[in-house]
Amino acid sequence: MRSLEEVLGYTFQNPALLIRAMTRSAYAREAGLPGDAHMDALAVLGDAVIELAVIEAIIDVGESEKGAITNLKIQSVNMLRLRNAAEALDLTEYICWGKGERQMEIWTSGRVLAECYEALIGALYLDNGMDAVRSVLRASGIVSYKKD
């Protein structure tokens, strides 16, 4: 996972979080890992954290109207953008896929890679809070901020 950390420009303080974020539930079941050793909860967290970061960035650039913020958020956070961010990191190479997932090349489904990216963001958040998330989202082009 060192090479993924290099691509991210971030080193995990708790590497177990990164491993969990890169472990699909199918793989965890097949490998007999504990019930919480997979990415699912991190993906849910990451989804919320990405939305928070995007809304924060929208407000940071001066938008204050609720409807405009909502519309900009919808434009900024979508499956295609998250999938593209995952592809830019070559995330498929780091994920522990279940046997069936690997045979079916499930990552070619749009939502799957987006979910993996969300899990990565959830892990970043738990490891070092919003600063780590902002840095990675900024590098991915998902958000931009006026100030640090």
Q: Which residues are catalytic?
A: 47, 118
Are the beta carbons of 53 and 130 closer than 8 angstroms? yes
DSSP-based three-state secondary structure for 22: coil
- Paired tokens of 137: 């989202």
Count of CB atoms within 10 A of residue 36's CB?
A: 10
Q: How far is CA 119 from CA 16, 17, 27, 122, in A?
A: 13, 10, 15, 5
Spatial distance between the Cα atoms of 45 and 134, rounded to a whole number of angstroms: 15
Place of tokens 């504990």: 34
- Please state the φ and ψ torsions of residue 34, each to the nearest 5 degrees: -60, 155
